[in-house]
Amino acid sequence: MPSTSFELQPSPLWKHFEQILKIPHGSGSEKALGEHVLAYAKSLNLSASKDKVGNIIVRKPATPGREKAAGVVLQGHLDMVNEKNSNVAHDFAKDPITTEIKDGWMHARGTTLGADNGIGVAASLAVMEDASLVHGPLEFLFTVDEETGLTGARSIQPGALQGKYLLNLDSEEEGTYTIGCSGGGDSEIAFPLKRKASRLENAYRLKISGLRGGHSGLDITQGRANALKLLARLLTLAAARVPFELLKIEGGNKRNAIPREAWADFLLDPAKIPAFQAVLEKTGADIRFEYGSVEKAFQGRLEEIPRKKTDAPLTPASQESLVAFLNACPHGVLRMHPEIAGLAETSTNLALIRCAKAKAEVICSSRSPIGPALEAARSMIKSLAGLAGAKIRQPEAYPGWAPNLQSPLLQTMKDVYKKTFSKDAAVVAVHAGLECGIIGQKFPGMDMISLGPTITHPHSPEEGVDIASVADFWKLLTAALRDLA
Ligand SMILES: [Zn+2]
Protein backbone atom coordinates (compact mmCIF):
# COMPACT_ATOMS: atom_id res chain seq x y z
CA MET A 1 0.00 0.00 0.00
CA PRO A 2 1.39 3.44 -0.80
CA SER A 3 2.19 5.66 2.15
CA THR A 4 -0.85 7.78 1.31
CA SER A 5 -2.89 5.06 3.02
CA PHE A 6 -1.94 6.58 6.36
CA GLU A 7 -3.89 9.63 5.38
CA LEU A 8 -7.01 7.57 4.66
CA GLN A 9 -9.82 7.91 7.17
CA PRO A 10 -10.61 6.40 9.58
CA SER A 11 -6.93 5.72 10.07
CA PRO A 12 -7.22 2.86 12.62
CA LEU A 13 -9.38 0.85 10.21
CA TRP A 14 -7.00 1.43 7.29
CA LYS A 15 -3.99 0.63 9.49
CA HIS A 16 -5.56 -2.78 10.23
CA PHE A 17 -6.42 -3.33 6.59
CA GLU A 18 -2.82 -2.59 5.63
CA GLN A 19 -1.64 -5.30 8.03
CA ILE A 20 -4.20 -7.75 6.65
CA LEU A 21 -2.87 -7.16 3.11
CA LYS A 22 0.56 -8.36 4.25
CA ILE A 23 -0.74 -11.70 5.55
CA PRO A 24 -1.73 -14.20 2.84
CA HIS A 25 -5.27 -15.43 3.60
CA GLY A 26 -6.86 -17.22 0.68
CA SER A 27 -9.67 -19.66 1.49
CA GLY A 28 -8.21 -22.63 3.33
CA SER A 29 -5.08 -20.65 4.29
CA GLU A 30 -6.51 -18.30 6.92
CA LYS A 31 -4.42 -19.65 9.78
CA ALA A 32 -1.86 -16.81 9.89
CA LEU A 33 -4.54 -14.14 9.74
CA GLY A 34 -6.50 -15.94 12.48
CA GLU A 35 -3.35 -15.98 14.66
CA HIS A 36 -2.85 -12.28 13.96
CA VAL A 37 -6.40 -11.50 15.14
CA LEU A 38 -6.01 -13.70 18.21
CA ALA A 39 -2.69 -12.11 19.18
CA TYR A 40 -4.08 -8.62 18.64
CA ALA A 41 -7.13 -9.32 20.85
CA LYS A 42 -4.86 -10.71 23.57
CA SER A 43 -2.62 -7.64 23.34
CA LEU A 44 -5.74 -5.60 24.20
CA ASN A 45 -6.44 -7.93 27.17
CA LEU A 46 -9.66 -9.17 25.56
CA SER A 47 -10.82 -12.75 25.97
CA ALA A 48 -10.31 -14.58 22.67
CA SER A 49 -10.49 -18.16 21.52
CA LYS A 50 -10.12 -20.26 18.41
CA ASP A 51 -12.30 -23.27 17.60
CA LYS A 52 -11.23 -26.47 15.88
CA VAL A 53 -11.77 -25.20 12.31
CA GLY A 54 -10.05 -21.86 12.98
CA ASN A 55 -12.97 -19.51 13.67
CA ILE A 56 -12.00 -16.83 16.20
CA ILE A 57 -14.32 -15.38 18.84
CA VAL A 58 -13.31 -12.29 20.84
CA ARG A 59 -15.31 -10.64 23.62
CA LYS A 60 -15.13 -6.99 24.60
CA PRO A 61 -16.95 -5.83 27.74
CA ALA A 62 -19.54 -3.06 27.50
CA THR A 63 -18.71 0.58 28.05
CA PRO A 64 -19.23 1.25 31.81
CA GLY A 65 -22.93 1.84 32.41
CA ARG A 66 -24.01 -0.10 29.29
CA GLU A 67 -23.53 -3.61 30.70
CA LYS A 68 -27.27 -4.32 30.61
CA ALA A 69 -27.65 -3.56 26.91
CA ALA A 70 -28.35 -6.43 24.51
CA GLY A 71 -25.17 -8.08 23.24
CA VAL A 72 -24.03 -7.38 19.70
CA VAL A 73 -21.96 -9.71 17.51
CA LEU A 74 -19.78 -8.21 14.76
CA GLN A 75 -19.05 -10.83 12.15
CA GLY A 76 -16.83 -11.11 9.10
CA HIS A 77 -14.92 -13.80 7.25
CA LEU A 78 -11.13 -14.16 7.35
CA ASP A 79 -10.66 -15.66 3.90
CA MET A 80 -10.41 -14.02 0.49
CA VAL A 81 -10.67 -15.29 -3.08
CA ASN A 82 -7.22 -15.52 -4.71
CA GLU A 83 -7.47 -14.43 -8.34
CA LYS A 84 -4.89 -12.70 -10.50
CA ASN A 85 -4.38 -11.59 -14.06
CA SER A 86 -2.29 -14.08 -16.01
CA ASN A 87 0.40 -11.48 -16.74
CA VAL A 88 1.00 -10.77 -13.05
CA ALA A 89 3.70 -12.57 -11.07
CA HIS A 90 2.17 -13.04 -7.65
CA ASP A 91 2.48 -15.92 -5.20
CA PHE A 92 -0.63 -15.89 -3.03
CA ALA A 93 1.10 -18.21 -0.57
CA LYS A 94 3.65 -15.60 0.47
CA ASP A 95 3.42 -12.28 -1.37
CA PRO A 96 1.66 -9.30 0.20
CA ILE A 97 -1.13 -7.70 -1.80
CA THR A 98 0.05 -4.38 -3.22
CA THR A 99 -2.42 -1.61 -3.85
CA GLU A 100 -2.96 1.57 -5.78
CA ILE A 101 -5.39 4.43 -5.28
CA LYS A 102 -7.07 6.18 -8.14
CA ASP A 103 -10.12 8.43 -8.34
CA GLY A 104 -11.19 7.63 -4.81
CA TRP A 105 -10.93 3.86 -5.23
CA MET A 106 -8.42 1.35 -3.94
CA HIS A 107 -7.48 -1.61 -6.13
CA ALA A 108 -4.78 -4.25 -5.96
CA ARG A 109 -2.15 -4.45 -8.68
CA GLY A 110 -3.43 -7.25 -10.89
CA THR A 111 -4.87 -9.39 -8.09
CA THR A 112 -7.95 -9.52 -5.96
CA LEU A 113 -7.73 -6.94 -3.16
CA GLY A 114 -9.53 -8.86 -0.44
CA ALA A 115 -11.59 -5.84 0.63
CA ASP A 116 -14.15 -8.66 0.65
CA ASN A 117 -14.00 -9.21 3.60
CA GLY A 118 -10.73 -7.57 4.75
CA ILE A 119 -12.45 -4.22 5.35
CA GLY A 120 -15.03 -5.93 7.57
CA VAL A 121 -12.28 -7.67 9.54
CA ALA A 122 -10.32 -4.41 9.82
CA ALA A 123 -13.45 -2.64 11.08
CA SER A 124 -13.88 -5.29 13.79
CA LEU A 125 -10.25 -4.88 14.87
CA ALA A 126 -10.68 -1.11 14.96
CA VAL A 127 -13.79 -1.45 17.14
CA MET A 128 -11.88 -3.77 19.50
CA GLU A 129 -9.11 -1.24 19.81
CA ASP A 130 -11.12 1.95 20.19
CA ALA A 131 -11.72 2.82 23.86
CA SER A 132 -13.72 5.94 22.97
CA LEU A 133 -16.71 4.07 21.45
CA VAL A 134 -19.95 3.61 23.37
CA HIS A 135 -21.38 0.09 23.14
CA GLY A 136 -22.99 -2.79 25.00
CA PRO A 137 -21.32 -6.20 25.43
CA LEU A 138 -19.58 -7.07 22.16
CA GLU A 139 -18.58 -10.32 20.56
CA PHE A 140 -16.49 -10.54 17.42
CA LEU A 141 -16.80 -13.59 15.21
CA PHE A 142 -14.19 -14.18 12.48
CA THR A 143 -15.06 -17.16 10.32
CA VAL A 144 -12.90 -19.24 7.97
CA ASP A 145 -13.61 -20.42 4.47
CA GLU A 146 -16.72 -18.43 3.62
CA GLU A 147 -15.89 -18.27 -0.05
CA THR A 148 -15.61 -21.95 -0.89
CA GLY A 149 -17.97 -23.74 1.42
CA LEU A 150 -19.20 -21.60 4.33
CA THR A 151 -17.22 -24.14 6.35
CA GLY A 152 -16.48 -21.82 9.25
CA ALA A 153 -20.11 -20.78 9.71
CA ARG A 154 -21.20 -24.42 9.51
CA SER A 155 -18.80 -25.41 12.26
CA ILE A 156 -19.78 -22.84 14.89
CA GLN A 157 -21.03 -24.55 18.01
CA PRO A 158 -24.51 -23.63 19.21
CA GLY A 159 -24.01 -21.65 22.43
CA ALA A 160 -20.71 -20.17 21.25
CA LEU A 161 -22.29 -16.69 21.04
CA GLN A 162 -24.46 -14.85 23.55
CA GLY A 163 -25.34 -11.70 21.57
CA LYS A 164 -28.92 -10.93 20.62
CA TYR A 165 -28.02 -8.92 17.53
CA LEU A 166 -25.57 -9.78 14.77
CA LEU A 167 -24.05 -7.27 12.38
CA ASN A 168 -22.53 -9.11 9.43
CA LEU A 169 -19.93 -6.80 7.83
CA ASP A 170 -19.79 -8.55 4.43
CA SER A 171 -22.21 -6.51 2.29
CA GLU A 172 -20.90 -4.69 -0.75
CA GLU A 173 -22.98 -1.59 -1.09
CA GLU A 174 -22.83 1.32 1.32
CA GLY A 175 -26.34 2.58 2.09
CA THR A 176 -27.91 -0.84 1.55
CA TYR A 177 -28.81 -3.30 4.27
CA THR A 178 -29.16 -6.97 3.48
CA ILE A 179 -31.79 -8.72 5.59
CA GLY A 180 -32.17 -12.14 4.01
CA CYS A 181 -30.67 -14.84 1.83
CA SER A 182 -31.82 -18.05 0.28
CA GLY A 183 -31.19 -21.56 1.47
CA GLY A 184 -30.65 -24.24 -1.11
CA GLY A 185 -30.92 -27.91 -1.81
CA ASP A 186 -30.13 -30.16 -4.75
CA SER A 187 -32.00 -33.03 -6.33
CA GLU A 188 -29.93 -35.75 -7.99
CA ILE A 189 -32.03 -37.83 -10.35
CA ALA A 190 -30.81 -41.13 -11.79
CA PHE A 191 -32.63 -42.54 -14.83
CA PRO A 192 -32.16 -46.13 -15.78
CA LEU A 193 -31.64 -46.23 -19.57
CA LYS A 194 -32.49 -49.19 -21.76
CA ARG A 195 -30.97 -49.40 -25.23
CA LYS A 196 -31.82 -51.32 -28.39
CA ALA A 197 -30.31 -52.23 -31.75
CA SER A 198 -30.93 -49.99 -34.77
CA ARG A 199 -30.61 -50.23 -38.52
CA LEU A 200 -30.29 -46.46 -38.94
CA GLU A 201 -26.95 -45.44 -40.49
CA ASN A 202 -26.78 -41.71 -39.81
CA ALA A 203 -26.17 -39.82 -36.58
CA TYR A 204 -26.91 -36.15 -35.89
CA ARG A 205 -26.41 -33.61 -33.13
CA LEU A 206 -28.92 -30.91 -32.27
CA LYS A 207 -27.10 -28.24 -30.29
CA ILE A 208 -28.42 -25.23 -28.40
CA SER A 209 -25.77 -22.59 -27.73
CA GLY A 210 -25.11 -18.88 -27.35
CA LEU A 211 -27.22 -18.42 -24.22
CA ARG A 212 -26.18 -16.11 -21.40
CA GLY A 213 -26.54 -18.50 -18.48
CA GLY A 214 -25.54 -16.85 -15.21
CA HIS A 215 -25.82 -17.56 -11.50
CA SER A 216 -28.73 -19.83 -10.71
CA GLY A 217 -29.82 -17.60 -7.83
CA LEU A 218 -28.73 -14.02 -8.51
CA ASP A 219 -29.68 -14.15 -12.21
CA ILE A 220 -32.81 -16.27 -11.98
CA THR A 221 -35.13 -13.26 -12.27
CA GLN A 222 -33.46 -12.05 -15.49
CA GLY A 223 -35.77 -14.03 -17.79
CA ARG A 224 -32.90 -15.84 -19.50
CA ALA A 225 -33.39 -19.13 -21.32
CA ASN A 226 -32.21 -22.51 -20.04
CA ALA A 227 -30.49 -24.50 -22.83
CA LEU A 228 -31.81 -27.80 -21.46
CA LYS A 229 -35.38 -26.55 -21.41
CA LEU A 230 -35.12 -25.29 -25.00
CA LEU A 231 -33.60 -28.58 -26.11
CA ALA A 232 -36.32 -30.65 -24.41
CA ARG A 233 -38.96 -28.45 -26.00
CA LEU A 234 -37.46 -28.92 -29.47
CA LEU A 235 -37.11 -32.68 -29.01
CA THR A 236 -40.70 -32.98 -27.78
CA LEU A 237 -42.02 -31.12 -30.83
CA ALA A 238 -39.75 -33.03 -33.22
CA ALA A 239 -40.72 -36.42 -31.78
CA ALA A 240 -44.35 -35.81 -32.76
CA ARG A 241 -43.28 -35.45 -36.42
CA VAL A 242 -40.02 -37.36 -36.94
CA PRO A 243 -39.07 -40.81 -35.58
CA PHE A 244 -35.54 -40.09 -34.32
CA GLU A 245 -33.73 -42.51 -32.04
CA LEU A 246 -32.01 -40.77 -29.12
CA LEU A 247 -28.42 -41.68 -28.20
CA LYS A 248 -27.82 -39.14 -25.44
CA ILE A 249 -28.57 -35.71 -24.05
CA GLU A 250 -25.88 -33.59 -22.41
CA GLY A 251 -25.81 -30.03 -21.13
CA GLY A 252 -25.10 -27.65 -18.26
CA ASN A 253 -21.90 -27.33 -16.23
CA LYS A 254 -22.40 -26.47 -12.62
CA ARG A 255 -25.17 -26.84 -10.08
CA ASN A 256 -25.28 -23.10 -9.47
CA ALA A 257 -25.24 -22.00 -13.12
CA ILE A 258 -28.09 -21.70 -15.60
CA PRO A 259 -27.19 -24.01 -18.54
CA ARG A 260 -25.84 -22.07 -21.55
CA GLU A 261 -25.40 -25.04 -23.86
CA ALA A 262 -27.05 -28.42 -24.37
CA TRP A 263 -27.12 -31.01 -27.12
CA ALA A 264 -28.83 -34.24 -28.11
CA ASP A 265 -27.28 -36.94 -30.30
CA PHE A 266 -29.63 -39.23 -32.22
CA LEU A 267 -29.99 -41.51 -35.21
CA LEU A 268 -32.29 -40.49 -38.03
CA ASP A 269 -33.17 -41.51 -41.54
CA PRO A 270 -31.57 -38.76 -43.77
CA ALA A 271 -34.82 -38.61 -45.75
CA LYS A 272 -36.46 -37.15 -42.61
CA ILE A 273 -33.94 -34.33 -42.20
CA PRO A 274 -36.09 -31.72 -44.00
CA ALA A 275 -39.00 -32.47 -41.64
CA PHE A 276 -36.69 -32.18 -38.63
CA GLN A 277 -35.23 -28.92 -39.98
CA ALA A 278 -38.73 -27.54 -40.43
CA VAL A 279 -39.52 -28.12 -36.74
CA LEU A 280 -36.19 -26.57 -35.79
CA GLU A 281 -36.79 -23.48 -37.91
CA LYS A 282 -40.34 -22.91 -36.73
CA THR A 283 -39.49 -23.45 -33.05
CA GLY A 284 -36.25 -21.46 -33.37
CA ALA A 285 -38.29 -18.52 -34.65
CA ASP A 286 -40.73 -18.93 -31.72
CA ILE A 287 -37.82 -18.94 -29.25
CA ARG A 288 -36.31 -15.80 -30.82
CA PHE A 289 -39.71 -14.13 -30.52
CA GLU A 290 -39.94 -15.06 -26.85
CA TYR A 291 -36.34 -14.45 -25.78
CA GLY A 292 -35.06 -12.08 -28.47
CA SER A 293 -34.54 -9.13 -26.14
CA VAL A 294 -32.43 -11.08 -23.65
CA GLU A 295 -30.88 -13.98 -25.63
CA LYS A 296 -29.57 -12.22 -28.71
CA ALA A 297 -26.98 -14.92 -29.52
CA PHE A 298 -29.27 -17.97 -29.24
CA GLN A 299 -28.49 -20.71 -31.76
CA GLY A 300 -30.13 -24.06 -32.47
CA ARG A 301 -28.12 -26.09 -34.98
CA LEU A 302 -28.40 -29.54 -36.51
CA GLU A 303 -25.24 -31.23 -37.80
CA GLU A 304 -24.26 -34.72 -38.87
CA ILE A 305 -21.80 -36.51 -36.59
CA PRO A 306 -19.90 -39.80 -37.11
CA ARG A 307 -22.08 -42.87 -36.59
CA LYS A 308 -20.21 -45.16 -34.23
CA LYS A 309 -20.95 -48.87 -34.63
CA THR A 310 -21.08 -49.19 -30.85
CA ASP A 311 -23.79 -46.53 -30.47
CA ALA A 312 -27.10 -48.06 -29.48
CA PRO A 313 -30.14 -45.78 -29.19
CA LEU A 314 -32.55 -45.73 -26.26
CA THR A 315 -35.66 -47.86 -26.38
CA PRO A 316 -38.78 -45.81 -27.20
CA ALA A 317 -39.92 -46.01 -23.55
CA SER A 318 -36.55 -44.77 -22.18
CA GLN A 319 -36.39 -42.00 -24.75
CA GLU A 320 -39.91 -40.84 -24.05
CA SER A 321 -39.58 -40.72 -20.30
CA LEU A 322 -36.22 -38.91 -20.38
CA VAL A 323 -37.38 -36.23 -22.81
CA ALA A 324 -40.72 -35.87 -21.00
CA PHE A 325 -38.94 -35.46 -17.66
CA LEU A 326 -36.75 -32.65 -18.99
CA ASN A 327 -39.68 -31.01 -20.72
CA ALA A 328 -41.83 -31.12 -17.57
CA CYS A 329 -39.07 -30.35 -15.06
CA PRO A 330 -39.63 -26.93 -13.44
CA HIS A 331 -37.04 -24.23 -14.00
CA GLY A 332 -36.98 -20.59 -12.91
CA VAL A 333 -38.81 -18.52 -10.32
CA LEU A 334 -41.61 -20.36 -8.57
CA ARG A 335 -42.61 -17.45 -6.36
CA MET A 336 -41.57 -13.82 -6.02
CA HIS A 337 -41.23 -12.42 -2.51
CA PRO A 338 -44.60 -10.86 -1.66
CA GLU A 339 -43.10 -7.91 0.27
CA ILE A 340 -39.70 -7.19 -1.28
CA ALA A 341 -40.00 -5.99 -4.87
CA GLY A 342 -37.86 -7.79 -7.42
CA LEU A 343 -36.68 -10.51 -5.05
CA ALA A 344 -37.15 -14.14 -6.05
CA GLU A 345 -38.37 -16.06 -3.03
CA THR A 346 -38.39 -19.64 -4.31
CA SER A 347 -36.72 -20.85 -7.48
CA THR A 348 -35.29 -23.93 -9.07
CA ASN A 349 -32.57 -24.49 -11.67
CA LEU A 350 -32.55 -27.47 -14.03
CA ALA A 351 -28.76 -27.47 -13.90
CA LEU A 352 -27.24 -30.33 -15.84
CA ILE A 353 -27.56 -33.76 -17.41
CA ARG A 354 -24.96 -36.40 -18.24
CA CYS A 355 -25.72 -39.67 -20.07
CA ALA A 356 -23.84 -42.93 -19.66
CA LYS A 357 -24.73 -46.24 -21.28
CA ALA A 358 -27.27 -47.46 -18.75
CA LYS A 359 -27.95 -44.31 -16.74
CA ALA A 360 -28.67 -40.63 -17.15
CA GLU A 361 -27.99 -38.24 -14.27
CA VAL A 362 -29.86 -34.98 -13.90
CA ILE A 363 -29.20 -32.34 -11.24
CA CYS A 364 -31.61 -29.63 -10.16
CA SER A 365 -30.74 -27.01 -7.55
CA SER A 366 -33.53 -25.22 -5.73
CA ARG A 367 -33.46 -22.15 -3.49
CA SER A 368 -35.63 -20.39 -0.94
CA PRO A 369 -35.12 -18.47 2.30
CA ILE A 370 -38.07 -20.45 3.65
CA GLY A 371 -37.34 -24.08 4.48
CA PRO A 372 -40.82 -25.52 3.79
CA ALA A 373 -41.05 -23.68 0.45
CA LEU A 374 -37.69 -25.13 -0.55
CA GLU A 375 -38.85 -28.62 0.38
CA ALA A 376 -42.11 -28.13 -1.55
CA ALA A 377 -40.09 -27.22 -4.65
CA ARG A 378 -37.93 -30.30 -4.21
CA SER A 379 -40.98 -32.46 -3.65
CA MET A 380 -42.36 -31.45 -7.08
CA ILE A 381 -39.14 -32.68 -8.64
CA LYS A 382 -39.36 -35.87 -6.61
CA SER A 383 -42.91 -36.53 -7.80
CA LEU A 384 -41.87 -35.96 -11.38
CA ALA A 385 -38.92 -38.32 -11.03
CA GLY A 386 -41.34 -40.92 -9.66
CA LEU A 387 -43.65 -40.52 -12.66
CA ALA A 388 -40.68 -40.91 -14.99
CA GLY A 389 -39.48 -44.08 -13.25
CA ALA A 390 -36.26 -42.47 -12.00
CA LYS A 391 -34.52 -42.66 -8.64
CA ILE A 392 -33.86 -39.47 -6.73
CA ARG A 393 -31.48 -38.41 -3.96
CA GLN A 394 -32.04 -35.14 -2.15
CA PRO A 395 -29.15 -34.30 0.20
CA GLU A 396 -29.91 -32.16 3.23
CA ALA A 397 -30.56 -28.53 2.29
CA TYR A 398 -28.58 -25.63 3.72
CA PRO A 399 -30.69 -23.09 5.58
CA GLY A 400 -31.76 -19.68 4.37
CA TRP A 401 -32.34 -16.45 6.23
CA ALA A 402 -35.94 -15.34 5.92
CA PRO A 403 -36.29 -11.54 5.65
CA ASN A 404 -38.10 -10.03 8.62
CA LEU A 405 -39.32 -6.54 7.82
CA GLN A 406 -40.57 -6.19 11.42
CA SER A 407 -37.16 -6.87 12.94
CA PRO A 408 -36.32 -4.47 15.82
CA LEU A 409 -32.67 -4.44 14.70
CA LEU A 410 -33.70 -3.38 11.20
CA GLN A 411 -35.81 -0.57 12.66
CA THR A 412 -32.89 0.70 14.75
CA MET A 413 -30.46 0.44 11.83
CA LYS A 414 -32.85 2.36 9.55
CA ASP A 415 -33.19 5.09 12.20
CA VAL A 416 -29.41 5.28 12.69
CA TYR A 417 -28.86 5.59 8.94
CA LYS A 418 -31.40 8.37 8.61
CA LYS A 419 -29.99 10.26 11.59
CA THR A 420 -26.42 9.91 10.34
CA PHE A 421 -26.87 10.66 6.63
CA SER A 422 -30.27 12.42 6.42
CA LYS A 423 -31.55 9.88 3.91
CA ASP A 424 -33.02 6.39 3.93
CA ALA A 425 -31.04 3.19 3.65
CA ALA A 426 -32.12 0.66 1.02
CA VAL A 427 -33.19 -2.74 2.29
CA VAL A 428 -32.62 -5.86 0.18
CA ALA A 429 -32.31 -9.61 0.40
CA VAL A 430 -30.30 -11.83 -1.93
CA HIS A 431 -31.32 -15.02 -3.68
CA ALA A 432 -28.07 -16.79 -2.82
CA GLY A 433 -26.46 -18.32 0.25
CA LEU A 434 -24.79 -16.16 2.92
CA GLU A 435 -23.17 -17.00 6.25
CA CYS A 436 -26.12 -15.45 8.12
CA GLY A 437 -28.36 -18.27 6.86
CA ILE A 438 -26.16 -20.84 8.56
CA ILE A 439 -25.49 -18.78 11.68
CA GLY A 440 -29.18 -17.90 12.16
CA GLN A 441 -30.10 -21.57 12.26
CA LYS A 442 -27.69 -22.21 15.13
CA PHE A 443 -28.87 -19.25 17.19
CA PRO A 444 -32.66 -19.17 16.88
CA GLY A 445 -34.06 -15.74 17.57
CA MET A 446 -30.81 -13.91 16.76
CA ASP A 447 -31.72 -10.71 14.94
CA MET A 448 -29.27 -10.14 12.05
CA ILE A 449 -28.43 -7.56 9.42
CA SER A 450 -25.61 -7.21 6.93
CA LEU A 451 -23.84 -3.98 5.97
CA GLY A 452 -20.57 -2.86 4.46
CA PRO A 453 -18.74 -0.32 2.29
CA THR A 454 -19.07 -0.25 -1.50
CA ILE A 455 -16.97 -2.96 -3.14
CA THR A 456 -17.15 -3.64 -6.87
CA HIS A 457 -16.11 -6.76 -8.80
CA PRO A 458 -15.27 -8.88 -5.76
CA HIS A 459 -13.53 -12.19 -6.52
CA SER A 460 -11.79 -10.70 -9.58
CA PRO A 461 -8.60 -8.67 -10.12
CA GLU A 462 -10.86 -5.68 -10.84
CA GLU A 463 -12.03 -5.70 -7.22
CA GLY A 464 -12.14 -2.17 -5.86
CA VAL A 465 -13.29 -0.46 -2.69
CA ASP A 466 -14.73 3.04 -2.63
CA ILE A 467 -12.58 4.82 -0.04
CA ALA A 468 -15.20 7.41 0.96
CA SER A 469 -17.74 4.63 1.52
CA VAL A 470 -15.42 3.05 4.10
CA ALA A 471 -15.55 6.25 6.18
CA ASP A 472 -19.36 6.24 5.93
CA PHE A 473 -19.46 2.56 6.86
CA TRP A 474 -17.38 3.28 9.97
CA LYS A 475 -19.58 6.22 10.93
CA LEU A 476 -22.68 4.05 10.57
CA LEU A 477 -21.22 1.10 12.43
CA THR A 478 -20.06 3.10 15.42
CA ALA A 479 -23.34 5.07 15.59
CA ALA A 480 -25.25 1.78 15.47
CA LEU A 481 -23.21 0.29 18.33
CA ARG A 482 -23.96 3.39 20.39
CA ASP A 483 -27.70 3.35 19.65
CA LEU A 484 -28.03 -0.39 20.22
CA ALA A 485 -26.50 0.14 23.69
ZN1 LIG B 1 -17.45 -11.86 1.40
Distance 450 CA to ligand 1 centre (A): 11
4-18, 333-347, 397-411: segment of lowest average pLDDT: 4-18
Domain 3-182+401-484 has CATH 3.40.50.150: no
* Residue 86: predicted pLDDT: 83
Q: Tell how far the Cα of 300 is from the centroid of ligand 1, in angstroms.
A: 38
Distance 322 CA to ligand 1 centre (A): 39
Residues with CB under 5 A from ligand 1 (ion): 116-117, 170
Answer yes or no: is pLDDT of 1 > 60.
no
What percentage of the chain has pLDDT greater than the value 70? 99
pLDDT averaged over every residue in the chain = 95
Q: What is the mean pLDDT of residues 293-316?
A: 96
User: Distance from the CA of 382 to the center of ligand 1, in angstroms?
Assistant: 33
For the cut 60, the answer to whether the pLDDT of residue 73 exceeds it is yes
Task: Check residues 235 and 256 and name the one with the higher pLDDT.
Answer: 235
Choosing from 79, 219, 295, 435, which is the catalytic residue? 79
pLDDT single digits (tens) 128-138: 999 999 999 99
Span 353-382, mean pLDDT? Answer: 97
Extents of the domains making up the chain: 3-182+401-484, 184-393
Of the residues 30, 139, 145, 146, only one is catalytic, namely 146
What pLDDT is stored for residue 4 in this prediction? 52
What is the average pLDDT across 439-460? 95
Q: Is 14 left (phi over 0), alpha (psi -120 to 50) or beta?
A: alpha
Taking domain 184-393, whether its CATH number is 3.30.70.360 is answered by: yes
Q: For 79-91, what is the mean pLDDT?
A: 92
CA–centroid distance, residue 142 to ligand 1 (Å): 12
Using the predicted structure, report yes or no on whether residue 3 has a pLDDT greater than 50.
no
* pLDDT of the residue at 274: 97
Distance of CA 120 from the midpoint of ligand 1 (Å): 9
146 is a catalytic site residue: yes
pLDDT digits (tens, 9 = 90+) for 4-13: 545 799 999 9
79 is catalytic: yes
112 pLDDT more than 90 = yes
Mean local confidence (pLDDT), 421-430: 96
Specify the pTM. Answer: 0.84
Distance 171 CA to ligand 1 centre (A): 7
CB of 161 within 8 A of CB of 58? Answer: no
Average confidence (pLDDT) over 259-268:
97
Measured in Å, residue 168 CA sits from the centre of ligand 1 at: 10
pLDDT tens profile 188-244: 999 999 999 999 999 999 999 999 999 999 899 999 999 999 999 999 999 999 999
